[in-house]
Amino acid sequence: MWDVRIESEASAKITVERSRFFAVLRPAQDEAMIKEVLAERHKEVRKACHHCWAARWTDGDGRLVELARDDGEVGKPGHKILDLLRRREVEGLLVVSRVFGGVKLGPAGVGRAFKQAAEAVLDVAEGSARKR
5-12 average pLDDT score: 86
Domains of the chain: 4-131 (3.30.230.30)
**Is the predicted pLDDT of residue 3 greater than 70, yes or no?**
no
Confidence of residue 129 (pLDDT cuts 50, 70, 90): low
The dihedral built from the CA positions of residue 124, 76, 69 and 113, taken in this order, carries a sign that is positive
CA 126, 131, 132 angle in degrees (round to 5)? Answer: 100
CA distance 95 to 24: 5
Which tens digit of pLDDT belongs to each residue from 71-126?
A: 999 999 999 999 999 999 999 999 999 999 989 999 999 999 999 999 999 999 88
43-57 average pLDDT score: 95
Confidence of residue 70 (pLDDT cuts 50, 70, 90): very high
Confidence of residue 2 (pLDDT cuts 50, 70, 90): very low
Start-end of H helices in 25-105: 31-44, 77-87
Paired residues of 93 in beta bridges: 26, 55
Tell me the whole-structure pTM to 2 decimals.
Answer: 0.91
Which tens digit of pLDDT belongs to each residue from 10-31?
A: 999 999 999 999 999 999 989 9
